[in-house]
A and B are shown apart, each in its own frame.
Chain A
Amino acid sequence: MASDSDRLLVQQIRQGDPRAWDHLIARYEGRLLAFVQRRLHDRATSEDVVQETFIGFLTSLPNFDERRELQTYLFTIASHKLTDHLRRNGRHPLQNAPDELLHLKLDDNPAASSMARSHERRMLESEAVARCLGQLIKDWQTEGEFGRMKVLELLFVKGWANRDVAAFLKINEQQVANIRFAAVKKIGDFIRDAGLPADVFPELHVADAP
């Protein structure tokens, strides 16, 4: 969700206001530089990539949806510029892969497959999951249930197995299984209630009682 302040800034930039553009640069360049520099480990080159990111932002501005979070959008552009840079300099890990992997990673073309599910459908599913999980996380934060957040983040975001999560957090595996089961059930129900298919998410297949 975009902040009001960012939305206003973008509107002013769309009208060609140089002060607003200066303000946006000041607000975001530091974090973008840090993001790029963590990969490149070279200050001057990283500054060049950030410069290309800002140019890329202005070039793509007509297509920018102001409901999107500006920071995430800028990080996405920076990420693409970073990959381009690594490829140009032969530093990309897939550069010499004997197949089409590098090409696939660099060419972000969602329409490439004739089997592609509709973008709208995918957005609806994403929004439903984000809304449900967002509410769950918000409740846990309010209740100070950070242990549950950690369990779910390791399972879903890192893809760790129950056993690894339990060992890392020093809890028993059954507790991890219970937290996973409750979350999977809640998300699955939420998606189905929204009239969407839960089976498109591999993580939601393990719905058997622990």
Chain B
Amino acid sequence: MTKAAKTSISREQLCGYLDDSLCDTETARVEDALRHSESLRKDLRSLMQERDRGEHSVGAIWRRSRLTCPNREQLGSFLLGVLDAGFHGYVEFHLKTVGCAFCLANLADLEEQRREAAPHTHQRRKRYFESSAGLLRGKR
């Protein structure tokens, strides 16, 4: 979180926490606050009840629809530094200030792809495949 960010936890941050869409630092901050504040737990309870009743927010729809998330190709171009300055600045803001967990995961994956030795990746994918392929239709 940047220094100008609010010190308290907003309703939308709680909402983002429930959606697992916060970055790790912000998630840790919300969890820490929840552990120590009965009043915040009350807010969370009330938010959950509202969601249970089918109430929603513009923010939740924005996050769920990923309205401002750059796509994978744009993130790749961001890493290479080839986006135009305005959009580059916006992607940086989306990653660092908004802290979008899904885009940060994509970015980390793209960075990892540039570094990681192929045999490692191959082994991991083989393990996932072997543990799940039995569930494919026609294989049962």
Contact A15 B137 (CB under 8 A): yes
Other-chain residue from A31, A55, A82, A164 in contact with B132 (beta carbon distance below 8 A): A55
Across the interface, B58 reaches (CB within 8 A) one of A58, A164, A187, namely: A187
CA distance A187 to B61 in the complex (A): 13
- Is A29 in contact with chain B by the CB < 8 A criterion? yes
Known: A133-B58, A159-B12. A16 touches B52 (CB 8 A): no
Q: Which of B10, B18, B86 contacts A158 (CB 8 A)?
A: B10
Category for how many chain B residues contact A: 35 or more
Contact with B along A169-210 (1 / 0, CB 8 A): 000000000000000000100000000000011111000000
In the complex, are the beta carbons of B48 and A105 less than 8 A apart? yes
For the residues of A in contact with B, the DSSP-based class is helix
- A67 an interface residue at 8 Å Cβ cutoff? no
If A38-B101, A101-B45 touch, does A13 touch B66 (CB 8 Å cutoff)? no
Distance to closest chain B CB from A48 (angstroms): 10
The interface size bin for chain A is 35 or more
Q: Which residues of A contact B121 (CB under 8 A)?
A: 30
Within 8 A of A (CB), among B33-70: 34-35, 41, 44-45, 48-49, 52-59, 61-68
B54 and A137 within 8 A (CB): no
- List chain B residues, Cβ under 8 A from A156: 12, 57-59, 62
Are A25 and B128 closer than 8 Å at their CB atoms?
A: yes
Contact of A126 among B61, B128, B137 (CB under 8 A): B61
Q: CA separation between A28 and B135, bound complex, in Å?
A: 18
A133-176 interface with B by 8 A CB criterion: 133-134, 137, 141, 144, 146, 149-150, 153-154, 156-161, 164, 167-168
Residues in chain A near residue B19, CB distance under 8 A: 79
Q: Kindly report which residue of chain A lies nearest to residue B14, judged by CB atoms.
A: A159
Question: Which residue of the partner chain B has the closest CB to A47?
Answer: B124
Which A residues are in CB contact (< 8 Å) with B136? 13, 16-18, 21, 58
Known A55-B132, A159-B11, A201-B56; contact A79-B137, beta-carbon cutoff 8 A: no
Tell me, rounded to whole Å, the shortest Cβ–Cβ distance linking A34 to chain B.
4
Contact B106 A203 (CB under 8 A): no
How near does chain B come to A98, taking the closest CB pair, in angstroms? 9
Q: Are B139 and A16 in contact (CB under 8 A)?
A: yes
Q: Given A15-B137, A122-B54, A35 and B10 touching (CB < 8 A)? A: no
Residue with the highest number of chain B CB atoms closer than 10 Å, among A21, A31, A50: A31
